[in-house]
Amino acid sequence: MVDSLTNNRQIVLDTETTGLDPKSGHRIIEIGCVELSERRLTGNNLHRYVQPDRDIDPGAIAVHGITNEFLQDKPRFVEIIDQLQNYLKGAELIIHNADFDVGFLEHEFTLCNQPMVLSDVCKVTDTLAMARKQFPGQRNSLDALCKRLSVNNAHRTLHGALLDSEILADVYLVMTGGQTDLSLDQETATGDDAVDLAAMVDLDKLTLVTASEAEITAHEQWLERLRKAEDGCAWDRVV
């Protein structure tokens, strides 16, 4: 097991496959990874379609919409394995129903004669397990979590590894801390998401507003009434 990570990289990962069980010969056909650092999207994502050298189950096509014809000219897993393994090593992997994706990935690594146990080189966090603890007895699919946590997934009509990773990143950030970032420092944001919030504040126009004597007296009178109440004054416990 990985005792500690060498950096703060988190990789939100999802796969699409030809079917449900690698032991039955099913293969990965799409991998989508979204990188987070300090709870911010970095833009250093990884997305690959993969030729599985077998037909995709019709039921799987109905879920993700990826066809055999679409994958004909895509690279095989052995052609992307080095890039993928190097990208994942040392990061925390955030996966919804991690056993499924980890099982498929480790099966593909073995087929390429480069076996790798992901939990030996990464920390693996299962958001499905997290959701079951936070919301016991409720539906905890990605769509259900989006609805419960007010995460927009209106653009998701079919499953897709990269799209699902992007949505899961939003879900994970809400589940683990609500607002994703309160800092004015936006240096790590990229593209259309980059907003210089500090530049929007005109420091020369900021003024210090102090309470008047009458306002201070009224405030103290209100606190004194609270102190006489049964529960006491929470202000006193804070300060």
Residue 22 DSSP one-character state: G
Contacts of residue 92, defined as CB under 8 A and 6 or more positions apart, other chains included, come to 5, 9, 10, 11, 122, 123, 124, 125
Contacts of residue 82, defined as CB under 8 A and 6 or more positions apart, other chains included, come to none
Composition of the chain by helix, strand, coil, percent to 5: 40, 15, 45
Residue 193 DSSP one-character state: G
Q: Is 219 a catalytic residue?
A: no
DSSP string for residues in 130-152: HHHHHSTTS--SHHHHHHHHT--
Annotated catalytic residue within 107, 155, 159, 219 = 159
Q: Which residues are catalytic?
A: 159
